[in-house]
Amino acid sequence: MGNERLRSQMQSAGITVGDLATEVDVDPKTVQRWLDVGRVPHQRHRQRTAAVLDSEEEYLWPELLDDPRRLSASQAEVLSLYPHRGAVPGDLWSRLLDQATECVDLLAYSGLFLLDSQPTFLERLIAKARTGLRTRVLLGDPEAPVLSERGREEGIGEQMGVRAQLSIDVTRAARNQADFDVRTHATPLYNSIYRFDDQALVNLHAYGWQAPQNPVLHLQRIPGGQLFDHYLTSFDRVWETGRDVV
């Protein structure tokens, strides 16, 4: 049976068999077998194909959802589940930052709790950026309608935009640091994501509840797992829509 999902995504993106073969670095005949026979590519080729087509591996090859090895790896990615953000040990945030050597990615509307609970967090993050740690910070656009809407949902009104603006002002000193980028975004925040190298804390959001009251997943990337990369892809998509803070 052929892979019509892959074929459809290629057609929508205007990508030919030859184009995809070049992008993924395989023979065009290999791509044709993916289409005509439904052969599932190796993981590296799946990931590259999904990126090129701006899609998900599991959509292009739904049989992956039934792979027990992938399911087991994804389950192993969950180090902890905290019932609310306050249950996350305070020293965990510090340890994750201290251990990070390659990158830190932060996605929130304001994230002020980090500065309130970890007074030296920003200072230490700037110091790491100076040594080459790539840092990407995404904060809510104070003027965006989604922030006003979230403020109404959580019962804090316009304070959501005020808090976002405060975070933007606080990070002003960091923007001229090497590898420290700050952008604003206007996307609905389904999850706040705090990524430190191959670990992440994901603050899930539920309608009508404030962020501190919502559960937090502690994830660690494991080869073959799906959860960590799932949230990282979400971060990257928001990053692409963001606007540099000037």
Higher per-residue confidence, 42 vs 105 = 105
Dihedral Cα 37, 43, 49, 53, nearest 10 deg: 100
Looking at residue 166, its pLDDT comes to 93
Please name the residues in contact with 89: beta carbons below 8 A apart, sequence gap of 6 or more.
none
Q: Does residue 91 carry a pLDDT above 60? A: yes
Mean pLDDT, rounded, for 65-89: 80
Mean pLDDT, rounded, for 118-136: 91
The class (CATH top level) of 74-244 is alpha beta
Looking at residue 137, its pLDDT comes to 95
DSSP string, 132-154: T-EEEEEEE-TT-HHHHHHHHHH
Q: What's the pTM?
A: 0.73
Q: Does residue 71 carry a pLDDT above 60? A: no
Start-to-end CA distance of the chain, whole Å, equals 52
Paired tokens of 82? 């905290």
Looking at residue 70, its pLDDT comes to 59
CA 203/CA 223 separation, integer angstroms: 23
pLDDT single digits (tens) 156-171:
888 999 999 999 998 8
Mean pLDDT, rounded, for 98-117: 93
**DSSP H helices in the chain:** 4-13, 17-24, 28-36, 43-52, 57-60, 68-76, 90-99, 112-117, 121-130, 145-154, 159-170, 227-241
What are φ and ψ of residue 180, in 5° steps? -125, 105
Whether 56 and 24 have beta carbons less than 8 Å apart is answered as no
Mean pLDDT, rounded, for 101-126: 92
Looking at residue 56, its pLDDT comes to 84
Average pLDDT, the chain: 89
Please name the residues in contact with 3: beta carbons below 8 A apart, sequence gap of 6 or more.
34, 35, 38, 60, 61
Yes or no: is domain 4-66 CATH 1.10.10.10? no
Higher per-residue confidence, 107 vs 115 = 107
Looking at residue 43, its pLDDT comes to 81
Looking at residue 139, its pLDDT comes to 96
pLDDT bucket at 173, cuts 50 / 70 / 90: confident
Please name the residues in contact with 90: beta carbons below 8 A apart, sequence gap of 6 or more.
117, 118
Q: Name residue 184's beta-bridge partners.
A: 139, 243
Domain positions in the chain are 4-66, 74-244
The percent of residues above 70 in pLDDT, for the chain, comes to 96
Looking at residue 74, its pLDDT comes to 64
Per the listing, tokens 């993981």 go with 43
Looking at residue 68, its pLDDT comes to 60
Looking at residue 83, its pLDDT comes to 96
